[in-house]
């Protein structure tokens, strides 16, 4: 058989097994006619040159043809990356989740844990909409930091957690501002307190303290207002908030 005929035979064999899959695929791999590693390298090159849809196609092909291969964690990893680069967050989350569930000892497992949380964070809606995914992201980010407190992505996880926390706090704070503008001081007070009780580490907590003192004063609850500010370190507040606190103090003294 000449070289041309041998080449035609090899191409036909590969095409047949790619279409049929199953045990024949494993035989073809053993015969050296389907090279899992080479196809993976092709997919990685496609990712590098931003040909993401083609990379995903090849990676799905590898999953089908090379199931059980020790390199499958790498396949899931790059499939996740390819989807992430296309902002296909749910697909990316699936790949990373499968990776650390099926390959917990993989060198990619730590990053996969972080990426699952990151994907949910990216899917979080604006602060004025439903925050279910925001809360889930915070739970997943906490899980990652608990597992890898000194992990490569620990700082990034903490930053994303703080952003999510501020998003939740902003919703409560905005409610306080709304009711304050309506001069419904009791309702505003409830939401200021919600910020402080549920999100004391958020960026909105300092202004919530000041707002709460102002609402107590407006309601004539001078003793409560006094207690709210008497142990505050005014220098810890930015200038605008310090001025408002001083105004509360002055009214209480007057």
The answer to whether the beta carbons of residues 100 and 109 sit under 8 Å apart is yes
Asked if residue 204 has pLDDT above 90, the reply is yes
The answer to whether the beta carbons of residues 52 and 58 sit under 8 Å apart is no
CB atoms under 10 Å from CB of 181, counted, come to 9
Two tokens at 225? Answer: 């207002």
Phi, psi of 100, rounded to the nearest 5 degrees: -75, -20
CA max distance for the chain = 107
Between 102 and 10, the higher pLDDT residue:
102
Asked if residue 4 has pLDDT above 70, the reply is no
Q: What is the mean pLDDT of residues 85-90?
A: 98
Per-residue pLDDT of 101-147, as tens digits, reads 999 999 999 999 999 999 999 999 999 999 999 999 999 999 999 99
Asked if residue 16 has pLDDT above 80, the reply is no
Q: What is the mean pLDDT of residues 52-63?
A: 97
Per-residue pLDDT of 219-232, as tens digits, reads 999 999 999 999 89
Asked if residue 5 has pLDDT above 50, the reply is no
Phi, psi of 128, rounded to the nearest 5 degrees: -90, 5
What letter would DSSP give residue 249? H
Q: Which of 201, 237, 203, 205 is nearest to 191 (CA)?
A: 205
Reported confidence tier of residue 34, pLDDT bands at 50, 70, 90: confident
Reported confidence tier of residue 158, pLDDT bands at 50, 70, 90: very high
Asked if residue 72 has pLDDT above 50, the reply is yes
pTM to 2 decimal places: 0.82
């Amino acid at each position: 058989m000449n070289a041309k005929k041998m080449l035609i035979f090899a191409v036909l064999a590969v095409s047949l097994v790619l279409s049929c899959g199953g045990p024949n695929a494993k035989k073809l791999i053993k015969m050296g006619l389907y090279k899992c590693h080479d196809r993976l390298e092709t997919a990685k090159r496609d990712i590098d040159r931003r040909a993401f849809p083609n990379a995903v196609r090849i990676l799905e092909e590898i999953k089908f043809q090379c199931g059980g291969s020790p390199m499958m964690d790498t396949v899931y990893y790059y499939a996740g990356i390819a989807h992430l680069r296309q902002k296909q967050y749910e697909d990316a989350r699936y790949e990373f989740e499968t990776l650390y569930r099926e390959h917990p000892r993989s060198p990619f497992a730590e990053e996969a844990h972080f990426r699952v949380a990151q994907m949910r964070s990216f899917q979080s809606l604006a602060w004025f909409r439903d925050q279910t995914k925001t809360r889930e992201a915070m739970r997943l980010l906490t899980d990652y930091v608990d597992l890898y407190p000194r992990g490569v992505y620990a700082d990034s996880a903490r930053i994303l957690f703080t952003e999510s926390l501020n998003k939740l706090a902003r919703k409560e704070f905005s409610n306080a501002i709304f009711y304050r503008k309506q001069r419904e001081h009791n309702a505003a007070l409830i939401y200021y307190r919600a910020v402080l009780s549920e999100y004391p580490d958020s960026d909105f907590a300092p202004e919530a303290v000041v707002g709460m003192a102002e609402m107590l004063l407006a309601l004539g609850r001078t003793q409560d207002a006094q207690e709210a500010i008497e142990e505050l370190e005014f220098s810890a507040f930015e200038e605008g908030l310090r001025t408002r606190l001083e105004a509360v103090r002055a009214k209480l003294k007057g």
